[in-house]
Structure 1
């Protein structure tokens, strides 16, 4: 005589649905098995810190021997925030994180692993949520390490010249957090492009286009609508957030506010996640 339990037919051996922690563990195993991916992010982080430190170390000569003052110009003042969290380091971290995000998506489609993943876990939203949380968390940590180490290292170097800054100074904490926050946002943008295009070359080229080529097309102050589009692109937000309030540096006319840049950065991240989830749910594997 056979017995049945509620929700299960006789003789069935249905497995329990995987927990979200199980999905996170599975995504971590996938990421860890591709050593080139996290080594690229680690190497990019070290290089970004080296770029910032070397830039300030090179500037020590100009701090000790400032250039002659031009007639009618204000005295030369060194901006540790601009040089200590450089745009080159930020761009390097952006492309590394964006590439990592794209690889985690198009890599599974290229190898066919995505079919196995969705066969084991039919809930595609849960799979993407695990990817987003893992990649977002790892790249956010990398961005925070780079921004924090760079800021404190270069300002320790500048302390002997009496031009160093403290993280409690006006605009400094905002700059450190903004520099760190753009890294996971670019990783999420990379994931969205990887889901849309499902091709290595197309995804990386599109990432470079969005992050670095498009801003060149929306510069200048002549047309306000063009400038405002440019200031709402991803890399422009970190430029605004890392401006030293004590310096004369600006983004020109029609510059966004600090709050506007934070909202824009967050909107890019949210939009990237929505696109990734929508595309993966609706398209066949």
Structure 2
């Protein structure tokens, strides 16, 4: 007498493998179902726009104290572009998005749900690729909204004094795009660090060091330090939003700065996707 047993959950040999779009949908459900994710994005957006708007309002408030020559030089020198997205705002967004990207993976490791994920889909690279795709897509939309809103708000404030500029102003679009792309690049970098370190606290420290501390430590005082600094995201952003010719002994091009963005994004994505393949859960 023989007895046939069905596989648990009805998973037989003919069950189709999960498609990549299915994995993307699953990762999107994970991300949007966490209230903390949207709180973090919302708080970051408010902080970034507030930093930029506050700087523009200071200019608006003290504008009458400037001489006519200073007012003319202010616009001619492209200073409104510097207030469209300030360095403080860029630092806040870089750190926040790095943390959000890191938590997208360390959260699963800390709770142990990553074991369930890999048990359901043994193709770990596909899972991590789907997670990286979702994190990058959401961060890209977020960066575009925040950078666009910051530009619109700051220039509207400055326009009250006749100092605002439009998006067609030379270099304005580059400032907006470079600032917007900081968000997805930093998010995927944070995710890559989290996939390697796996511990939330250690990942946060490593993200701060990589994203913020290194660009500050590596200054333009020496050639090797300047070259190494140019390879960091923050200094690449500074070069892209810089008005006029570079004021440094070791100048570099905007093309080189865009290349830094691409290299960081691709390297981080590859690291995030492959890091879980040969390690235990």
Matched, 1:276 2:272: yes
Specify the SS of the correspondent of 1:283: coil
Query: Shift of residue 162 of structure 1?
Result: 2.3
Query: Shift of residue 256 of structure 1?
Result: 2.0
* Cα RMSD after superposing both structures: 2.1
| Structure 2: runs of 5 or more not aligned | 1-10
CA distance in 1, matches of 2:253, 2:100: 30
Specify the SS of the correspondent of 1:280: coil
Partner of 1:184: 184
CA distance in 2, matches of 1:112, 1:153: 43
The list of structure 1 runs, each at least 4 consecutive aligned residues, that deviate by more than 6 angstroms after superposition, is none
| Structure 1: runs of 5 or more not aligned | 1-10
CA distance in 1, matches of 2:251, 2:83: 21
Query: Shift of residue 13 of structure 1?
Result: 4.9
Q: How many residues align?
A: 268
Q: 1:251 to 1:209 in 2, by over 3 A?
A: farther
Q: Which segment is superposed worse, 229-238 or 32-41?
A: 32-41
Query: Shift of residue 29 of structure 1?
Result: 1.8
Partner of 1:4: none
Task: Calculate the TM-score normalised by the size of structure 1.
Answer: 0.88
Task: Calculate the TM-score normalised by the size of structure 2.
Answer: 0.89
Note the 1:134-149 alignment, pairs <5 A.
Answer: 134-149=134-149
Partner of 1:193: 193
CA distance in 2, matches of 1:116, 1:90: 37
Partner of 2:74: 77
Query: Shift of residue 149 of structure 1?
Result: 0.8
Partner of 1:5: none
Note the 1:13-24 alignment, pairs <5 A.
Answer: 13-24=13-24
Query: Shift of residue 76 of structure 1?
Result: 5.2
Query: Residue 166 of structure 1 contacts residue 172 of structure 1 at CA under 8 Å; is this kept in 2?
Result: yes
Partner of 1:110: 110
Q: 1:100 to 1:251 in 2, by over 3 A?
A: farther
Partner of 2:213: 213
